[in-house]
Structure 1
């Protein structure tokens, strides 16, 4: 990245990084305080928020170091690039886990609680993170670009192989889970709509159950759509670079694609806060509490000022 472009992207990365940390910390706090952490879906949402928080606190600083071409050892550079890849893979795995969880809620509502136990839930969360770590650091064991040097100016595409990004990450770890998630959410929406139509005028409890499932699924689909919109341009540009030898993809376009992937982690908390009722309610309580404290402080300050002004002069 050129020096002029760096000074444009650096403030944007800083803003996105701070927004990621604050927004996702708020989501984690909101789920914790409202007691929703006992529910599997919210457990996965918190795990996804942790991944997004790490994007702001770890990935963006590491990306900036890679952008400026910090001098480091070859395997040190591979390790930093692996961290960047790991959180994207973890996000895909957690989104898939959320989709499977919602599918089970609709497919086996009567035996769902016994099937998705706390122990199994945390095993799945741990597997998502461990699998993401193992698959993301494969380049350190040989699938990387051969530079034949002990040290290098660390840049992502200098060390990470295009074949690894395209064939393994995009074609194997991005597109198949995306197709599975699309199929699962289609099943969820078709099932909930069919159940709601069947229960019209009956007043059954199942009607309320399927309404909640439908609304929450719609919110989670929005998270999935944002993930696709923010990550697909970068993957497509990398694929064009790999296959289209006669097509030039400007470095600025790649940097914009990377910036868009980082922005995704800052947008997710906004979706949670406005579209998921429990998180929205917790955020509103925090807002009212902060507003009340601010008003109280202002009243106390005005009272102290009035007392000072009304004191008789000696």
Structure 2
């Protein structure tokens, strides 16, 4: 990639990372502090889990994506470990989305058993299981399905001519068959297919209930439908942002390294990272409770800012008045002395 293209890519990655951090910190604060008893509702707990995963994309995955492009020279073991961190965060996002879809489905189709199932203890246990399973799936290359042997043999062959460690890149340690057959088809497409089926059944059931119910009973169903539409939009954006990059991996596997240009590959990487920055915007415009929490947070922030500014003005006026009185006292003393 040309120098100017690399600079543009790096600048965009920095902007995406900043947006991920700011937006998702705001989401966590909005849910945990701005919405009363929100953590008692499973959907908001899973949204916090998704926001934490998106936040870690900005904190860890984006910087690692920039570094794991041949800019750092580390041991093959460390390169493999850093590459797996990116996979863990992606998997946490997928499983959090799946947990949200399952929660909405159970809430709609098993209303009598839902309260017994969706306790706070069960919810946080489900969140923990999502992250544990994400770690197990994301760190799978550490157990053997990787390019570590070929990388170490290549570095051994070149050790006689150069003592430097070869640059660390993602695809130098992560196997393309692993990315296509295990990560894409098994860990991404299978959950996306399950979520598509769940949301289809949710919308089909809601549409039927809205037709059969009386006008007084339609209000909660309409709220449920609006929330389901918002969460389905998050799912669609995730699929639209991540599938292009996985399809490029398929082309690289089946047609060789010249099947995808570097520009397209970097565009796919940027698009996948941008998904983590877009989700907070979707929450703000589509979920009323989070929108209200955003407004409360900004209102409190502005009030504190105005309060601090007002205190500074008061302290400044007090200081200036004291200085004026002191100056008047001095001038008065000089005047009385002259008489």
Does TM, scored on the shorter chain, surpass 0.5? yes
1:21 aligns with 2:14: no
SS at match of 2:208: helix
Correspondence 1:105-120 to 2 at 5 A: 105-120=107-122
Q: Could you tell me whether the CA contact under 8 Å between 2:21 and 2:55 is conserved in 1? A: yes
Q: Could you tell me whether the CA contact under 8 Å between 1:90 and 1:132 is conserved in 2? A: yes
Distance 2:298 2:126 in 1: 33
Name 2:296's counterpart in structure 1.
Answer: 285
Q: 1:185 aligns with which of 188, 199, 222?
A: 199
RMSD of aligned alpha carbons: 2.1
Q: Could you tell me whether the CA contact under 8 Å between 1:40 and 1:101 is conserved in 2? A: yes
Q: Which has the larger radius of gyration?
A: 2
- Give the alignment's TM-score, normalised by structure 1: 0.92
Correspondence 1:204-243 to 2 at 5 A: 204=217, 207-243=218-254
Q: 2:179 aligns with which of 162, 165, 171?
A: 165
Shift of 1:54: 0.5
1:32 aligns with 2:46: no
Name 1:258's counterpart in structure 2.
Answer: 269
Shift of 1:209: 2.6
Correspondence 1:35-46 to 2 at 5 A: 35-46=37-48
Name 1:49's counterpart in structure 2.
Answer: 51
| Structure 2: runs of 5+ lacking an equivalent | 157-164, 329-339
Q: Which deviates more from structure 2 when the two are superposed, residues 46-55 or residues 167-176?
A: 167-176
Shift of 1:178: 0.9
Correspondence 1:121-136 to 2 at 5 A: 121-136=123-138
User: Could you say if the C-alpha distance between residues 4 and 67 of structure 1 is closer, same or farther in structure 2, counting changes exceeding 3 Å?
Assistant: farther
Structure with bigger helix share is 2
Shift of 1:132: 1.1
Q: Could you tell me whether the CA contact under 8 Å between 2:40 and 2:119 is conserved in 1? A: no
Q: Could you tell me whether the CA contact under 8 Å between 1:240 and 1:247 is conserved in 2? A: no
SS at match of 2:111: coil
User: Could you say if the C-alpha distance between residues 198 and 94 of structure 1 is closer, same or farther in structure 2, counting changes exceeding 3 Å?
Assistant: same
Shift of 1:138: 1.5
Shift of 1:305: 7.2
Question: How many residues end up aligned between the 2 structures?
Answer: 311
- Give the alignment's TM-score, normalised by structure 2: 0.85
SS at match of 2:166: strand
Q: Could you tell me whether the CA contact under 8 Å between 1:20 and 1:52 is conserved in 2? A: yes
Distance 1:77 1:49 in 2: 26
